[in-house]
Amino acid sequence: MDNHNHGIVLQVESLNIYYGTLQAVKNVSFEVRRGEIFGLLGPNGAGKTSTLAAVEGLLEPKSGNICVAGYDIHEKKRYARASMGVQLQATSFQPELTVSEIIMLYAGVYGVEMPREKLESILKGIELNHAASKRFGELSGGQQQRVSLVIAMIHNPQLVLLDEPTTGLDPQSRRQLWSRMEAMRANGHGILVTTHSMEEAEAVCDRVAIIDHGQIIATDEPQRLIDLHRNVPAVIEASRKGKITLEDVFIGLTGTDIRS
């Protein structure tokens, strides 16, 4: 299956994932295009994290196909992984290493040349040139996030995976991250983002898929999902102050029960 020419950077087809006898992901299919921010939205335990782990190659699905930049992740695992950038959680980094050391370390891991001028320009790009010799553990949440995003992008991957990237950030840092995601999109990267924030999905995602109980129940542009479901009684009931938002559609489709 060759997707090089179709502008598809991620194709997930009929994905089924089990933990023992529990089926966590049921026949999930979607695609992420070049120059697109695609949101995977779902309550806790809906199958988002399992889907992401399968795309990363960390988890073996029972069945289904995953292609990254046209490479089947089973047959061409190395090429698929090289075409993908994953934003690691802050806990993945040694807190005692400095920002510069971390960037140099991962450049080495990915075999990316990192002369001093390039390092300086990267640090300047994330507004951390003044903090190059600061230890990672001393950075604020927003600063750590910017470093982990640089690491995800260091080898210029076609597909970028962001797992709840703005959790715990203040509004300024969150907006700044949105801008960075939009810049990545403008450079032709495909971005798969999971988020609990429907406001975020509505603000930055070109298309979203809503996953619930392991199945995708809707895929579309956020505004189209709102327009298509605006008269559904459960959605109207979920709405506050009369303006129908993506969150209202999400609650209307997935229900009001709290997921543990």
- Output 88-92 pairs: Cβ under 8 A, ≥24 positions apart: 88/148, 88/151, 88/152, 89/148, 89/163, 90/136, 90/141, 90/144, 90/145, 90/148, 92/148
Domain-embedded: residue 58: yes
CATH number at residue 66: 3.40.50.300
Q: How many domains does the chain have?
A: 1
* Beta strand pairing call for 63-68 and 190-195: unpaired
pLDDT at 2 over 50: no
Q: What is the pLDDT of residues 18-29, one digit of tens each?
A: 999 999 999 999
Domain-embedded: residue 245: no
Supply the pTM of this predicted model: 0.91
Q: What is the pLDDT, as a whole number, of residue 208?
A: 97
pLDDT at 147 over 60: yes
Domain-embedded: residue 2: no
Domain-embedded: residue 236: no
Rounded Cα gap, residues 238 and 143, in angstroms: 36
Domain-embedded: residue 27: yes
Q: What is the pLDDT of residues 165-219, one digit of tens each?
A: 888 888 888 898 899 899 999 999 999 999 888 899 999 999 999 999 999 999 9
Mean pLDDT over 243-259 rounds to 86
Domain-embedded: residue 41: yes
Domain-embedded: residue 69: yes
Mean model confidence pLDDT for the chain: 91
Domain-embedded: residue 168: yes
Domain of 169, in residue numbers: 8-221
Residue 1: which pLDDT band, with cuts at 50, 70 and 90?
A: very low
